[in-house]
Structure 1
Amino acid sequence: MTVRYPQSRLSQLLGATLLVSLATGLTSPAANAAPATDSPAGATTATVGGPLATAFDRAAARYDVPRDLLVAVGYAETHLDGHDGAPSASNGYGVMHLASNPKLRTLDEAAALTGLAPVTLRTDPAANVTGAAAVLRSYADRAGLTAAQRADPGHWYTTVVRYGGASTPAVARLYADTVYDLLGTGFQTTTGGGPVRVAPRPVAPERGALAAVAPLGTGDGVGIMSTDYGPAAWAPAHAENYTVSSRESTYPINYVVIHVAQGSYAGTVSWFQNPAAGVSAHYTIRSSDGAVTQSVREKDIAYHAGNWTYNTQSIGIEHEGYVNQPSWFTDAMYRSSAALTRHLCDRYGIPKDRSHIIGHNQVPGATHTDPGPNWNWTYYMQLVTGSTPPPSWSVTIDNSTAGAFTASANWGTSAYSAQRHGTDYRFADPAEASDPAWYRANIPTTASYRVEAWYPDDPGYNSSAPYVIVTPSGNQTVHVDQRSGGGAWRNLGTFTLAAGDGNKVGVSRWTGGAGLVIADAIRITRV
């Protein structure tokens, strides 16, 4: 059994352009993760209807940019949400985050390359996608990519790096690797411009000089890991974005301030490294897995609260995402952030209450609204204090459960195996087609859940049946050999599932494995 974990989306806040030597008309409300099938190696993504998907198709064809790469860049940047033309913290716009700041000017480049007015590029999603495709193609041309190389997404790695604008090699790799991880795992989202899908496929990015750079937080070199908080990677902010101090000798540390970055993990870290930013935070938390990066030492004063007194007396924690997009606030993020806050409170004697663990909006004189109405303060404080264990909850969904299982007529019904769960089970031939069987559940709250599968085994059943788990940060696929291990609950892993009623687990026919694909029963349990 193989479990693939997508990493988080990437840079919404950007940084200075990486040195060349390292490289040689619709609205779009919050994009929510939706069911997607998985596909075998080399499969081509079929267009899912809708104006945003059409915009990606047309822009990719016009500028000879791999369509799925273009979508992955946009999804990593914004979850394909243009935020009604409002800028990010680093003055980036639209689903593709075309930026206009002192260090990165992809918006201005897009205007010059397409002839479209900046206001159109900022506010019209189709134009925004077109502009990004034009910029990426111009970078590919400067890198000398031939037509044959342009057809292979693996050759675009350094082009993606340049688009992200990271200022250090480790953050540059973090940015581009996120895009390629999304290509590898695949995803499908539902946006105000319709559904958009990228099928999973093998990826082999050509990293060039960055191949020798250890991914952020994994190296053994000095300065890679935080010396303040063991689980955190270390990527220092620019010296102009914070004040060196000797807290707590100079100032007491009395508060933890919770922020939402209005951007992505890699982009936030990169923006803090940009001297034009004028802002920083001590820590940033990733949505998909709760990874942590420290940018300012705890003894020093980060510029995060917009109030000097609170800056001097607080630790600031940024969280990847946007205030108006609850899909970014995963259980992994809550738990990781709460563990960090608990550590800080214990270290500095900060009371674990809402008078001392506050939102940016609670800072006197604050003009910001983060973390906003989608942040679950009750759950977060329970995690910080350890006062309330997660409530127990479990549901079993059989293929015969009324209203909770759907499959097309291509899925047959059988009671052949005595290992079945219930009276029967469903089966289908593998096919390169978007034709999954779906299990629907009403999840009580966004949290971590164990997902288990029940199936009968048989030598004629599939050697690599794809189970697709729908999470707020993208779909995750687990391949199961259904020739063995049947007649019992088989653990597929623990995943963050979003609250609400909808398709949560699917069994896809799109597999390179041989044999019938079986869909019998699923069990989901809160952990």
Structure 2
Amino acid sequence: MVGPRFLAVALAAAVVVALAGPAGARERATDPFAAAAARYDVPRDVLLSLGWMLSRLDQRAVGRAGECGVMQLSADIRREAAALTGRSTAELCATAADNVAGAAGVLRAHADRAGLRAADRADVNLWYESVARFAGKVDASIARLYADTVFDQLAAGLDTVPARAVAPVRGRLADVPGWGSAGPRSPDHEPATWSPAHDDNFRDADREKSHPIDFVVIHVTQGSYAGTLAWFKNPASEVSAHYTFRSSDGAVTQSVREKDIGWHAGNRDYNARSIGIEHEGFIDNPAWFTDRMYRASAALTRTLTEKYGIPRTRANIVAHREVPGADHTDPGKHWNWTYYLQLVKGATGIGKGTVKAPTGTLTVRKGAGSDRAKVGTLPDGAKVTIWCQATGTAESGPVGRTKVWNRIGQDRWISNAYVNTGHPGFIAGVPKC
């Protein structure tokens, strides 16, 4: 998969990502990726792409099993990195500079074990197997998904990483099918790849005969797509969900049959009566909640409600945090329940090219209860709400390309590039998000 060209986000308040170009001493002082790349002779762009895949470059991210920082260092990786870098395991989580340095040290150790020499280390394509090994003890299909995601992002580019052609040398993973291309398909939901959870992480059942299915539980993974699927295959995790969606493109994998009972809600009764749907990301970072993921997930939920007669209400399509006895807070405050339920209920006219601008000027004021909602009055007195989403599918408009979307009314979305253009026929007076 080669996704859209994403904009990099801030690592943390005190960290500045350097502008593209040769990494000199001044850049290394402000760019933890340049500093780590120079110290351990690991390509900076590989480190950046890996960090983007794992955390969207967010040093605050804490994973489901305590993985920390930009590079989501697990306990095992922190121990190895501590020995290689001289930093303590606590220091490796404390700052972006130490976190990225720890990842770089471990990647360099993998490269050394693979026999990469100084000349080889300059070629990003030769780092594929080292990146795959950074995934930890996972099966070959997950390792390939993990590394392919990093190299697909290298191909697409980041704000400080120009897009490029890549030809990764996959080595031992060359004969492993690419994720979703030649692997088994879901037995229950045709768009999904089938990647079963470990037998110890769910219970065989015969629903609807044994239990009615009358809930859908919405989760956020607190980790990457590949890492979540690997977690479900790990018998020590004792967790699973039926489906997991990828942030960048809405791709989906099924890990538990719908007839079987996944261990996702932390409540035996809810597990027995629900389908669990995971969404790649971290609850505190809305950059993960893309329009493509919303749409793909809502399409599945709509299908489930039809199949099992589940009411399309918030009483039956619930957050993990709303399950009685739950000790989790996902999907968190950034999840857009209004939009998601509209999609589940079959809202039409959503997407590129579907919006007809009203005549006249739209007067806008800030909406109550949300710093991202603005309520406007049309010349005919009708009220519309503009919902501003800072991350979304990139689309081209009359003044360029943007990832910011405005939702107008209940069922219409347009790219931010369409507003405030001054062009006849487009919406005037709508403030950009």
Quickly name the TM-score band, shorter chain normalised: 0.7 to 0.9
- Determine the C-alpha separation between the residues in 1 that align with 2:346 and 2:70: 38
Q: 1-side partners of 2:167 and 2:74: how far apart?
A: 28
Preserved contact between residue 71 and residue 99 of structure 2 (Cα < 8 Å) = yes
Q: Indicate the SS of the match to 1:257.
A: strand
Residue identity opposite 1:204 in structure 2: A
| Residue 45 of structure 2: aligned partner | 68
Aligned position for 1:5:
3
SS at match of 1:317: strand
Q: Of 471, 476, 479, which aligns to 2:403?
A: 471
Deviations 1:342-395 (A, max 9, x none): 111111111111110000011001111111111110110000011464496479
Matched with 1:477 is none
* C-alpha separation in 2, matches of 1:51 and 1:503: 39
Residue in 1 aligned with 2:195?
Answer: 235
The CA deviation string for residues 272-328 of structure 1, in whole angstroms up to 9 with x for no partner, is 111121111000001111100001111111110011110111000000011111111
1:157 equivalent to 2:128? Answer yes
The root-mean-square deviation of aligned C-alpha atoms, in Å, is 3.5
CA deviation vs aligned residue, 1:396-433 (integer Å, no higher than 9, x gap): xxxxxxxxxxxxxxxxxxxxxxxxxxxxxxxxxxxxxx
**Of 331, 335, 342, the match for 2:302:** 342
Q: Supply the AA of the counterpart residue of 2:180.
A: G
Number of residue-to-residue matches in the alignment: 383
Residue in 1 that maps onto 2:371: none
Hey, what's the Cα distance between the residues in 2 that align with 1:8 and 1:215? 22
Q: Deviations over 1:425-471 (max 9, x none)?
A: xxxxxxxxxxxxxxxxx9844655752569xxxxxxxxxxxx8x443
Q: Which runs of 5+ in 2 are unaligned?
A: 358-385, 405-412, 428-433
Gaps (5+ residues) in structure 1? 10-25, 38-43, 189-196, 396-441, 455-466, 473-495, 505-520
- Aligned-partner SS, 2:212: coil
Structure 2 counterpart of 1:257, from 217, 223, 240 = 217
Aligned to 1:214: 177
Deviation digits for residues 32-69 of structure 1, max 9, x if unmatched? xx9x99xxxxxx66689878852111111111101111
Residues 389-408 of structure 1 correspond to what in structure 2 (within 5 A)? 389-390=349-350, 393=355
Counterpart of 1:88 in structure 2 is: 63
Please give the alpha-carbon distance, in whole angstroms, between the structure 1 residues aligned to 2:414 and 2:95.
32
Structure 1: which amino acid aligns with 2:56? H
Contact persistence 2:141–2:179 (CA under 8 A): yes
Q: Write 1 or 2 for the structure with the bigger share of strand.
A: 1
Tell whether the 8 Å contact from 1:59 to 1:130 is kept in structure 2 after alignment: yes
Kindly, what percent of the aligned residue pairs are identical? 49
Which stretch of structure 1 is more off in the superposition, 443-452 or 174-183? Answer: 443-452
Matched, 1:275 2:235: yes
Higher relative contact order, chain-length normalized (CA < 8 Å, sep 6+) = 1
Alignment partners' CA distance in 1, 2:416 and 2:285: 14
8 A contact 1:443–1:498 mirrored in 2: no
Q: CA deviation at 1:209?
A: 2.6
Kindly report which structure 2 residues correspond to 1:142-181, keeping only aligned pairs within 5 A, or say none: 142-165=113-136, 167-181=138-152
Rounded to whole Å, the distance in 2 between the matches of 1:239 and 1:271 is: 13
Contact 1:29–1:82 (Cα < 8 Å) also in 2:
no
Is 1:310 the counterpart of 2:270 in the alignment? Answer: yes
AA at the equivalent of 1:99: S
**Equivalent residue number for residue 118 of structure 1:** 89
2:217 aligned counterpart, secondary structure: strand
Q: With the length of structure 2 as denominator, give the TM-score of the two structures.
A: 0.80
1:358-397 alignment to 2 at 5 Å? 358-387=318-347, 389-390=349-350, 393=355
2:102 matched residue in structure 1: 131
Query: What amino acid is aligned across from residue 76 of structure 1 in structure 2?
Result: M
Q: CA deviation at 1:125?
A: 1.2
Q: Work out whether residues 244 and 278 of structure 2, in 8 Å CA contact, stay in contact via their aligned partners in 1.
A: yes
Q: CA deviation at 1:108?
A: 0.7
Letter in 1 for 2:150: V
The answer as to 2:311 corresponding to 1:327 is no
Residues 348 and 49 of structure 1: is their aligned pair in 2 closer, same or farther, counting only changes over 3 Å? farther
**In 2, are the aligned partners of 1:235 and 1:293 still within 8 Å (CA)?**
yes
CA distance in 1, matches of 2:325, 2:398: 52
SS state at 1:198 partner:
coil
Pairwise CA distance, 1:133: 0.6
Map 1:7-22 to 2 at 5 A.
Answer: none
CA distance in 2, matches of 1:8, 1:227: 33
Specify whether residues 151 and 449 from structure 1 end up closer, same or farther in structure 2 by C-alpha distance, changes over 3 A only.
closer
| CA distance in structure 1 between the aligned counterparts of 2:196 and 2:420, rounded to whole angstroms | 41
Residue 55 of structure 2 contacts residue 70 of structure 2 at CA under 8 Å; is this kept in 1? yes
Contact preservation (8 Å) 1:7, 1:289: no
Match of residue 55 from structure 2: 78
Whether 1:284 and 2:244 are equivalent positions in the alignment is: yes
**Structure-2 separation of matches of 1:355 and 1:209:** 48
Q: TM-score, structure 1 length as denominator?
A: 0.66
| Contact persistence 1:174–1:215 (CA under 8 A) | yes
Counterpart for residue 28 of structure 1:
12
Conserved? CA contact 2:395–2:403, under 8 Å: no
- How far residue 5 of structure 1 moved from its aligned partner, in angstroms, is 2.7
CA distance in 2, matches of 1:350, 1:48: 60
1:238/1:500 Cα in 2 relative to 1: closer, same or farther (>3 Å)? farther
Relative to 1, partners in 2 of residues 1:257 and 1:304: Cα closer, same or farther, differing over 3 Å? same
Q: 1:78 to 1:45 in 2, by over 3 A?
A: farther
